[in-house]
Structures are given as C-alpha cells and as structure tokens.
Amino acid sequence: MSAPLSLNRRNFLRTSLTGASAAAFGVDPAGAQGRSETLLVIQELGPNSLDMQGVGSNQTVNGLSWNCYDRLLSYAAKTLPDGTLSYDREKLAPELAESWEVAADGMSCTFKLRKGATFHDGSPVTAKDVKWSFDRAVKVGGFPTFQMSAGSLEKPEQFVVDDDHTFRIDYVRKDKMLLFNVAVVVPFIINSELAKKNATPEDPWAMAWLKNNEAGGGAYRIESWKPGIETIFTRFDGWTSGPLPKLKRIIARDIPSGGTRRAMLERGDADLSSGFAPRDFDQIMKEGKIKVSGVPIPNALWYLALNTAKPPFDSAKLRQALAWAMPYEQIQNGAFFNRAAPMYGGPAEVSKAVWPQPFPYVTDIDKAKALMKEAGLEGGFETTLSLDTGTATVGEPTIVLIQENLAKIGIKTQINKIPGANWRTMLNKKELPLVLNRFSGWLDYPEYYFYWNFHGNNSIFNISSYQNKDMDALIDKARFTEDPAEYEAAVKAFIGLCIRDLPVIPLNQPIHDVAMQKNISGYEFWFHREPDFRQFAKG
C-alpha cells in the first residue's frame, strides 16, 4: 500500500509545482504551448514611464521603447568570438525604412518607408508621422535633444516629407555619426495623429499623455503596465519591419531583491534577469545551472570624476596624485570579481586610436604623496566622495576602498550617498568635488564619448566641469574630418591629453551580464543594454 501512496504524493507535488511555475508565467498550467511562447523577465526596476523622451525616464524605458516603437534604421547583427549575438556598430539595417540613399553631395539622405506598415491601432505609418516624431525629438529638450544634436540632427527644418512614403533628412553639415544616430533609441516613430489628439497648447508634444500611453507600431504593444509591479507586452501580429517574433507574450516583473530573482531563476520560475552583484554572476557561472552572457559594454567606463573647476581639484598635479593612489586591483577583485575589464597599468604613450583603453597609472602611494607635495597639499585636506545609491552593489565596496587609500595620502573623505532619483540633478549642479560614476556612450566612437564628457560646449554629462580649448578642438576635428590619418592623430591626441589632465580617473570597463535559462536562445547584446524581445526563442 505504501508504494501507491508514495507515487500519489510525487504526482501531487509534480502537479503542484507545475501549476505554481505556470502561474508565475501568467498562463494556464495545462497550456504548455502558452508557456513556450511566453518569456518571463524579472528585473530590479521596471519602467517609470512609457515615453523614453520624457523627463526623468529611467533605463528600463529604453527597452520598452525599443520593442514597442520602430525607428527608421537599426543595426545589423554580428557574432562575437564567444558566440554571443551583438549589434554591429559599423553596419546599419532597415527597419521602418526599407531603403535609404545618401545624396551625391553627401548633404541629405532619403528614406523609403514600408508601404504596409501600420501602427498598433491599425492606422498607416506615413512620412508625416516620421517628421512629427523627429521634430519632437529635437524640440523636447534635455537628453533626447542633446542625443540628436550629437549626430547633427538639430532643427525641424532638416526633416522633410517628400510624399506619404518618402522622408528626407537635410544635413546641416557632414557628420559620419548622423545615420548611426538615427538608429539609436531616441528617434522612435510615434502615431502622430493619435498623439496630437491628446496634446494641448501647453503640451504640444503630448508629453503627459505619452508618459502613460503607448502610440507605437513596433513588434510588441503594451497589454498592461502596473508601475513598480509588472509590464506585459503582447506581440503585434501586424508588424512588417522585420521577421515576426517567435514569442507572443513578454511578462516583465519588478522584483528589487537580487536574492529573490536569483532563486526564481534557479528554480526555473523565470526565464531571464540581469542586475545581480558580480559575486552572484561569478557563482552562477561556476555552478553552471543557468547560462550567463557577458559582454564588455562598448564606450563605457566606471570612473572617479574630479571637479576641475573648483579648488583643490583644479590642480592637475593633485588629480594625478589621486590617480596613483587608486586601489585598482582591490576594486577589480573585491568589488567587481573580475566582471570588468581593467583600465589601469596601460602604456605610457597612446599608440592606438581606440576607447576605452587602460591609462598608465597603477597603485603607487609614494608617487601619490610626492605629487601631493608638489601640489602644495602634503598636509592633506577633507572632502566628500559621492555615490549613486542605485549603483550600491558595486559602488559601495568600490567607494570604501577608494576612501581607505585616499586616507593614506592625507585626504580624509566623507562618503555622500545620493538616492538614484536625485543623482542626475545633483550631478548637473556641478558642485560635487569627487564622484564615483559610470557612463556609456551609445555610439561606439572615441570622439562621441569625449564629446559628451569632456567638451566645453556640452555640459549635460561633463560632470568634471572640464574646460580646455585644445581638447574641444581635437574632439571637433575627430568628429568632422574625412581624412583617416587626421582622425587617428586627433583621437590619440585627445586621449593623451585626458591622461595628463585627468578630469576623470578610469577604473574599469563594465561587463553587462545577463542570466537566462539554457533553453532560451536569440539573446542579442545592444548598446542600450536592454533585452530585445524580438530576437528571443524558447526551445
């Protein structure tokens, strides 16, 4: 009698666990096919808006925009040496535009739109929608408008409707980044008639309405959005800008606890997650139950920024002293568990026009003390060291190690923890003396990174308040020259100037790690670091 009872118990447990797992996916436990066509993503923080051009939109909104809206162009795919699929920074691909042609004089580009494309409400996509969307991007201000300007997309007069399915961009100058900038997240195509119905004279771009409503024509549409809890995407079967995605439904749940997310993945109750501590990724990779894709983030750095506009950090010798005092290897091993590429101990001379590249500094307390003396600060001083609490997983151990080493050269620091919601506001004030920060540039060009961070005319991300006319001239030359030799010389020169002037001290290049079940395929790394649901499959 005991054997049948044991079997019954096992059957009960198996049925219960199957039901619980299916419930996690929001599908009928009997519907195995439903689960095979549903991806459950668990994330630390979900979107705080449905409009990535809105003020204060967070990182996750980039992924929502990427999947729910089309852009004229996208990037082609390539396979990295480890087999990971990634975007190809050098090759563009059609999306809403089925073709495009640059004029013979290089001063305009004409795009032919797909004639069968519709928005989610069934209305046709026309060149008028494209123009309205581009006009919005250059007029709303803030980051979207700065991003557009980085590719010389600056004013509505540049955007021309030739006919319903022909759109033209007139250039204000030749800029090799212009078309690549068309393919980033910002210039997404909005259903302009729907948006205009919900605009007001005070809000001509429907910012308030689009914050809470989606008006796209991308591969997925928003089924429901519960801020702080869950976002559900369903496939738009009328999408024509690429192969129809294999997955019909995406459930993205907000679960702040990394421990809970890891446990759900290991139980098989979720498909994909990121944002774990490097220690967790290190353990997950060693255990081998869940697969991890890790890609160094192009054009990205963790760094210590120094306020070059205010004493005492207006002294280059003092900034160099701090560079020799950084506990590079301790940070690499103890805070990042080597899930980052070191950016220290490089050659003294810049021999390659690539970014990022290791600076020549290593930990040398004696050199640091000598430079403190040369700067007239051998007696030391007190200051603050600021941290975004939203990056505390790696930021807190990093900043504590920096604090300990700066004490060795007489600099006493108080750690200033700033909530993530206030971080950008505080940086924009340019008052913080020392800041631990991470920045990544969507376009993988050295001059693009330097334009954002070190150009005197661009203040939005230049948190070091760095001003140097020689630097500005070198960045501008690299951005606009058509001579390869001149370009390479300019890039080497501005990297060398950065090594000497040190508006920031690079620590490492972060790796973007994503953990997923072994039956998940099609993951593609993108510069915006959010999952592209269009590529995924479950097998």
Whether 1 has a pLDDT exceeding 50, the answer reads no
How far is residue 403's CA from residue 413's CA, in Å, rounded to a whole number? 6
How high is the pLDDT of residue 393? 86
How far is residue 334's CA from residue 278's CA, in Å, rounded to a whole number? 10
Residue 100 counted as domain residue: yes
Taking the alpha carbons at both ends of the chain, their separation in whole angstroms is 40
How far is residue 253's CA from residue 23's CA, in Å, rounded to a whole number? 13
How far is residue 151's CA from residue 442's CA, in Å, rounded to a whole number? 12
Q: Radius of gyration over alpha carbons of the chain, in Å?
A: 25
Q: Are residues 235 and 312 in the same domain?
A: no
How high is the pLDDT of residue 26? 60
Contact 258, 44 (CB under 8 A): yes
Q: Are residues 487 and 526 in the same domain?
A: no
Q: Are residues 326 and 219 in the same domain?
A: no
**DSSP states of 258-325:** HHHHHHHHHHTS-SEEE---HHHHHHHHHH-SSEEEEEEPTTEEEEEEE-TTSTTTT-HHHHHHHHHH
How far is residue 162's CA from residue 145's CA, in Å, rounded to a whole number? 24
CATH number at residue 138: 3.40.190.10
Average pLDDT score over the chain: 93
Contact 39, 58 (CB under 8 A): no
How high is the pLDDT of residue 11? 39
Using pLDDT thresholds of 50, 70 and 90, give the confidence band for residue 7.
Answer: very low
Q: Are residues 471 and 330 in the same domain?
A: yes
Whether 136 has a pLDDT exceeding 90, the answer reads yes
Residue 231 counted as domain residue: yes
Whether 97 has a pLDDT exceeding 50, the answer reads yes
Total domains in the fold of the chain: 2
500's CB contacts (< 8 A; 6+ apart) are 316
For the whole model, what pTM was predicted?
A: 0.89
The structure tokens 């809000």 sit at 203
Q: Strand (E) positions, 95-207?
A: 97-102, 108-113, 159-163, 166-170
Q: Are residues 410 and 342 in the same domain?
A: yes
Using pLDDT thresholds of 50, 70 and 90, give the confidence band for residue 17.
Answer: very low
CATH number at residue 434: 3.10.105.10
Q: Are residues 485 and 374 in the same domain?
A: yes
Closest to 134 in 3D by CA, of 121, 122, 145, 142: 145
How far is residue 531's CA from residue 59's CA, in Å, rounded to a whole number? 12
Q: Are residues 494 and 533 in the same domain?
A: no
- The CA-atom distances, in angstroms, between 130 and each of 121, 188, 217, 421 are 17, 8, 12, 32
Q: Are residues 310 and 415 in the same domain?
A: yes
User: Can you say how many angstroms the Cα of residue 222 is from the centroid of all Cα atoms in its chain?
Assistant: 22
How high is the pLDDT of residue 171? 98
Q: Going edge to edge, which strands form the sheet with 159-163?
A: 97-102, 108-113, 166-170, 159-163
Sign of CA pseudo-dihedral 348, 354, 357, 359 = positive
272-298 average pLDDT score = 94
Residue 74 counted as domain residue: yes
Contact 305, 501 (CB under 8 A): no
Domain that holds residue 403: 300-511
How high is the pLDDT of residue 5? 35
How high is the pLDDT of residue 19? 42
How high is the pLDDT of residue 424? 83
> Is 343 exposed, middle or buried (CB count within 10 Å of its CB: 0-12, 13-18, 19+)?
buried
Selected residue with higher pLDDT from 32 and 94? 94
In the numeric block, which tokens belong to residue 311? 């004493």
CA atoms within 13 A on the CB side of 79: 4
Q: Are residues 374 and 467 in the same domain?
A: yes
How high is the pLDDT of residue 9? 38
Contact 165, 115 (CB under 8 A): yes
Whether 20 has a pLDDT exceeding 50, the answer reads no
Q: Are residues 239 and 349 in the same domain?
A: no
18-22 average pLDDT score = 46
How high is the pLDDT of residue 23? 56
Contact 28, 22 (CB under 8 A): yes
**Bridge-based pairing state of the strands 85-94 and 524-525:** parallel
Using pLDDT thresholds of 50, 70 and 90, give the confidence band for residue 530.
Answer: very high
Per residue in 480-501, pLDDT tens?
999 999 999 999 999 999 999 9
How far is residue 137's CA from residue 533's CA, in Å, rounded to a whole number? 24
Q: Are residues 522 and 470 in the same domain?
A: no
Using pLDDT thresholds of 50, 70 and 90, give the confidence band for residue 422.
Answer: confident
Residue 274 counted as domain residue: no
Residue 458 counted as domain residue: yes
10-32 average pLDDT score = 45
How high is the pLDDT of residue 421? 74
Using pLDDT thresholds of 50, 70 and 90, give the confidence band for residue 30.
Answer: very low
> Out of 52-61, 397-406, 486-495, 527-536, which region has the weakest mean confidence (pLDDT)?
52-61
| 135: helix, strand or coil | helix
Closest to 230 in 3D by CA, of 43, 356, 82, 467: 43
Q: Are residues 458 and 531 in the same domain?
A: no
Residue 109 counted as domain residue: yes
How far is residue 452's CA from residue 465's CA, in Å, rounded to a whole number? 12
Selected residue with higher pLDDT from 436 and 1? 436
Backbone angles phi, psi at 390, to 5 degrees: -70, -15
Whether 98 has a pLDDT exceeding 90, the answer reads yes
82-95 average pLDDT score = 95
Backbone angles phi, psi at 424, to 5 degrees: -65, -40
Residue 348 counted as domain residue: yes
How high is the pLDDT of residue 539? 85
Residue 152 counted as domain residue: yes
How high is the pLDDT of residue 428? 87
Work out the percent of the chain whose per-residue pLDDT is above 70: 94
Closest to 337 in 3D by CA, of 284, 291, 400: 284
230's CB contacts (< 8 A; 6+ apart) are 46, 224, 251, 252, 253, 254
